Structure 1
Amino acid sequence: MKSGVKIALGLLVSLATIAFIFIYDFYIRDRIDSAEVVVVKAGKEILKAETITEDKLAIERRPRESLVEDVVYANEIDQIIGRDAKQDILGNSMISKKMIDFDELVPDESKGEAIRPITSDMIYAKPGSLRRKDIIDIYLVYMDGSTNFQQNGPAKVSSDGQTNEGSNGISGDDEGATNEDKGGNSEDAKTKTEPFLKNVRVVYVKDSSNQEVVSTDEKEDKRLNASSTISDLEVILNEEDFRKLMNEVLGNGAKLYITYQ
């Protein structure tokens, strides 16, 4: 091979190598070591309990070593639009799934919502299988035995205030129950068929030592065994519903009969 051809081939290989290094450093390596993630646009801010809208979001490529835990990737952006934020998220920040209220357990202050306590002395009966994130209905039991139960609605109540319920917290068999077990006055039960409060979100289920009651059985039915006995609940209620509930409890001596869906 002629020396001129060898020199030309050597220069060509050198130039190709230099070009590859340049392309790798400035294009390929960035794509290998980075990912497209969802961030809050610079100059924007998402406040706690604010609904996330597309106009405040952007997709940017960030180094993988800098990604936050449970970061929202570009192809997951539709999963968070319309959800509420659990915390304030500043501009130019990556968004984590931990910052998003997927379970709707963050009170909406604009609706007067807050986390309200339901203490054990307010409760007449509740399902022992109740857990955090459940949606409950609340019925009332008064001192004179009257209720707002459906006639065939409530479960029998044991001496410890736990219900003998099916999967929805209501018994399917009340045979042999007394009028008191069924909620008292049957005429009153026929006329008042709706819960006092419906679709109440449970934020926490606590025992008497203020520890969260959780399921300990990881098999098919995770509600069979609990870490402890339920004492108090923390739920999301707006000001109007909470005031109505307290008026019945404190003013009229009602206790709460709780079922879950």
Structure 2
Amino acid sequence: MIDLTNARILISNDDGIDAPGIKLLERLAREFSDDVWVIAPSMEQSGAGHSLTLRRPLRIHKRDERHYAVDGTPTDCVLLSLQQVMRETPPDIVLSGINRGGNLGEDVTYSGTIAAAMEATLLDVPAIAFSQYFSGEMIDWTVAEKHLTDVVATLVKTSWPKGVLINVNFPEQEARCGARVQIATQGQRKIGDHIAERLDPRGEPYYWVGEILSELPEDPNADLRVIEQGNISVTPISLDFTHYETYDKLTKAFP
């Protein structure tokens, strides 16, 4: 269990260090502790996934004693945080987000928000990723602002094992009786992306990946359904991708 009142908290994201979501997360984190650090991408890195920059040098731009911008991915940010900037005083927990938009279903494989939490988890630091779902043109942070601290407080009291990160999504609007926390599975919805083909000024085709075209899963405990119902989805995600049933079958097939 983490004592948040004495915790050193590291915050990162994929929307960039100046994004409104990370500023809100920092403000909420300071309700727990004064020892809050923000080390995040200098520019938006949405969809970067768990990518690591290997073919060019990375630069860390110090804004003040506890705010640093990195010209790299969310993974780069957490790696440099733990092995360089905060090497002598490592964080007790990493909070990633609050992402502008949900990270549900297959989103977790693309999300830089999840990737920051994933990198922390690989380095044995507990991590929680936060996302605020929205469907229109404007995002409302009200639900995240209202419930995030309570969710964090309960999670750290419960604790979770190494190799597992926690993915939290807040609904756009609360259910009629108020949003409740629902432990959710990772849903599946990917049928196909909407890809628009257009022509550039020289007549050459280019492609723009758009929204996912799909139906919601039937499982009422799937994160996608939980959010649709106006509740807060909390999904524990294991970094061990091994499918053990198939593992057993293949072990017998290749004695």
What is the TM-score when the length of structure 2 is the normalising length? Answer: 0.22
What is the TM-score when the length of structure 1 is the normalising length? Answer: 0.21
> Which structure is higher in strand share?
2
